[in-house]
């Protein structure tokens, strides 16, 4: 251990700890706009400057290792003035159009300017101005608001192993951008939005579709339905002051009705349906010697990743559409017929924790038999919160309401889709009982829960000679490890779940941003607890016991995995190569 003092307070920390982390250990927050523990410790923003007795000049606390006997001062006149000057220099090359900025009142740069008491910017001169990059259906880049903190670069390279963002040029001309300062659509970005989650400013945000949805809601000729993904209910409340992980399902449904949606459905219904189709597909592959391991297909960032980087492994993917696409397809067929509305007059809006789903809904593979896209608009959780605020709804005062039937009934197995390991656990609850014919005693398969990078489990199926070996990965760098093992013939699994985002959908790129990027795992665990509480609270917790799904097969789809189910609920994938222009239809 190293013993030092910070502002006169003694502190002991393990050797190798930075001064910034040592300060945190005694409840002292040193400001920073670039630091992410273990990922981006580069001393770029120069806001964490401190004075150290015996050292000349001020030091960046995020890259300064604590040493024995060190005396650190974080609040001297020299420190305060240096931090102010550095922040004013950043602001002198910044648009400062906070009132019309998406990050207004939720911006780390703005908050820090307030905290450091900046009342004027004493520097003026040339200001960088770059065009907006609106080329992608998912993400808008506004390089004029970029402060070159490089957090997005670190996440894209290290957490997602994609690496399409990098600093280019030098000095004042430096810009963080895709290769050759091109647009995100010209590179193999998977649109996961994890860069948005860590960006401290409005330089990265989702493409906003709220106006288009408001317009659809005002069109009397349209029947507008909405569906909400499992992870929304444990995160939306944060936008209205609730603790992370608080389950706000009832208020969310109420808000959606008050916004004017004609029917409020639950993507969880389609998550249960996915399990019927996916478990059936897995059992089929096991019995017929199909391609194994089979890999889940509900995370569109993950799908885009395998299409770009491992197109030779596409046969491993389940052919199931992602749940919200399934529900969209059913809304424009089964539901349209049931209520006597033409499919072209139905508008499907999906509220998703995900920016990649905005891209997914545009895929030509997901256009139905009437030439209509399954889903018309995808809004992130943040966009829904903005719509609720614009409509003047007092979220906390809304009564609890329930989803509409028939596409709103679901089980606990469906809600756990929102967390890493959830699809696997839900699938195993069903596959176990379908294959063995026995009732699963303890349905909580904790081996696939939690934030470990890659989780593994082996489940014996009684009455058979099968021991199902499964793995779960979240975050694409972890997924890459499993894919390399498959390529090398070293992955001895039957079934793999992969989610593009670390933690799964609960911290997808469209969810409320963290208060502090360095507390991201704590946030994940809180939302995860909400997800498992929601599962526990439901009377039925196995997808194959969902009576509404059973009725759907009896009245409309016919056989599980049958012709109609395939037509509506399954899809195929596209080998894209490393660059989007290299597209081959598989």
Active centre residues (catalytic) = 278, 281, 298, 318, 357, 360, 365, 505
Query: What's the closest the beta carbon of residue 81 comes to ligand SF4, in angstroms?
Result: 21
Strands (E), 128-240: 139-141, 165-168, 175-178, 204-206, 223-228
Phi, psi at residue 241, to the nearest 5°?
A: 90, 0
CB 175 within 8 A of CB 168: yes
Quote the least distance from Cβ 136 to ligand SF4, whole Å. 8
Task: Identify which of residues 109 and 431 has a Cβ nearer to ligand SF4 in the complex.
Answer: 109
Nearer to ligand SF4, 260 or 311 (CB): 311
Rounded least distance, CB 355 to ligand SF4, Å:
7
Paired tokens of 576 = 């894209």
Residue identified by tokens 């009934």 is 409
Residues binding ligand SF4 (CB under 6 A) = 94-98, 101, 103-104, 107, 109-110, 139, 145-152, 155-156, 160, 162, 164-165, 176, 189-195, 198-204
Cα 27 to the chain's mean position, in Å? 30
CB closer to ligand SF4 out of 103 and 223: 103
Closest contact distance (angstroms) between CB of 542 and ligand SF4 is: 34
CA 151 from centre of chain? 16
Task: Give the shortest CB-476-to-ligand SF4 separation in angstroms.
Answer: 8
Contacts of 362 (CB under 8 A, 6+ apart): 137, 373
By DSSP bridging, strand 49-52 and strand 71-73 are: antiparallel
Supply 558's token pair. Answer: 């016919």
Using only C-alpha atoms, the chain has a radius of gyration, in whole angstroms, of: 25
DSSP conformation class of 584 = E
Strand partners, 427: none
Q: How far is the CB of 453 from ligand SF4 (least distance, A)?
A: 17
Give 440's contacts (C-beta < 8 A, 6+ positions apart): 429, 432, 433, 542
CA–CA distance, 199 with 187 (Å, rounded to integer): 20
Coil, strand or helix at 419: coil
The nearer residue to ligand SF4, 67 or 362, going by C-beta atoms, is: 362
Nearer to ligand SF4, 155 or 225 (CB): 155
């Amino acid at each position: 251990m190293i013993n030092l003092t910070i502002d006169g307070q003694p502190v002991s920390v393990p050797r190798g700890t930075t001064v910034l982390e040592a300060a945190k250990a005694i409840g002292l927050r040193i400001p920073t706009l670039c630091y992410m523990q273990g990922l981006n410790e580069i001393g770029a923003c120069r806001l964490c400057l401190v004075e150290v007795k015996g050292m000349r000049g001020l030091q960046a606390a995020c890259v300064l290792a604590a040493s024995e006997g060190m005396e650190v001062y974080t609040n001297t006149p020299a420190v305060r003035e240096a931090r102010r000057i550095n922040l004013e220099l950043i602001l002198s090359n910044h648009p400062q159009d906070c009132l019309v900025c998406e990050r207004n009142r939720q911006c780390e740069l703005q908050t820090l300017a307030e905290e450091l008491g900046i009342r004027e910017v004493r520097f003026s001169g040339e200001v960088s101005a770059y065009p907006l990059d609106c080329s992608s259906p998912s993400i808008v880049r506004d390089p004029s608001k970029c402060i070159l903190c490089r957090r997005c670069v670190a996440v894209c390279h290290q957490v997602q192993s994609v690496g399409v963002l990098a600093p280019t040029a030098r000095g004042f001309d430096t810009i963080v951008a895709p290769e050759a300062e091109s647009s995100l659509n010209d590179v193999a970005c998977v649109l996961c939005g994890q860069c948005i989650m860590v960006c401290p400013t409005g330089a990265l945000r989702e493409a906003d579709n709220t106006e288009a949805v408001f317009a659809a809601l005002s069109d009397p000729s349209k029947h507008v339905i909405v569906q909400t993904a499992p992870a929304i209910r444990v995160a939306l409340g944060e936008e209205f002051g609730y603790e992370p992980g608080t389950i706000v399902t009832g208020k969310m449904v109420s808000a959606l009705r008050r916004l004017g949606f004609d029917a409020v459905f639950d993507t969880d219904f389609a998550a249960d349906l996915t399990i019927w189709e996916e478990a059936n597909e897995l059992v089929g592959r096991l019995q017929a010697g199909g391609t194994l391991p089979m890999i889940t297909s509900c995370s569109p960032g993950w799908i885009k990743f395998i299409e770009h980087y491992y197109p030779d492994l596409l046969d491993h993917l389940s052919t199931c559409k992602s749940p919200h696409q399934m529900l969209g397809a059913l809304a424009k067929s089964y539901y349209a017929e049931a209520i006597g509305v033409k499919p072209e007059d139905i508008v499907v809006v999906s509220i998703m924790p995900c920016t990649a789903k905005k891209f997914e809904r545009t895929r030509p593979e997901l256009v139905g038999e009437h030439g209509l896209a399954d889903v018309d608009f995808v809004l992130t959780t943040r966009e829904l919160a903005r719509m609720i605020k614009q409509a003047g709804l007092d979220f906390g005062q809304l009564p609890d309401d329930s989803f509409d039937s028939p596409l709103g009934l679901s089980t606990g197995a469906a809600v756990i889709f929102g967390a890493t390991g959830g699809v696997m656990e839900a699938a195993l609850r069903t596959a176990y009982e379908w294959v063995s014919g026995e009732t699963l005693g303890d349905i909580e398969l904790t081996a696939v829960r939690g934030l470990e990078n890659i989780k593994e489990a082996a489940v014996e199926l009684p009455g058979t000679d099968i021991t199902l070996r499964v793995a779960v990965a979240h975050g694409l760098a972890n997924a890459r490890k499993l894919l390399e093992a498959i390529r090398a013939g070293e992955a001895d699994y039957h079934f793999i779940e992969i989610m593009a985002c670390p933690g799964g959908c609960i911290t997808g790129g469209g969810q409320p941003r963290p208060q502090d990027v360095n507390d991201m795992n704590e946030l994940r665990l809180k939302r995860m607890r909400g997800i498992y509480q929601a599962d526990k609270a439901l009377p039925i917790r196995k997808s194959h016991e969902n009576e509404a799904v059973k009725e759907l097969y009896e009245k409309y789809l016919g056989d599980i995995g049958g012709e109609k189910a395939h037509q509506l609920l399954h899809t195929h994938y596209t080998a894209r190569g490393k660059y989007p222009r290299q597209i081959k239809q598989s």
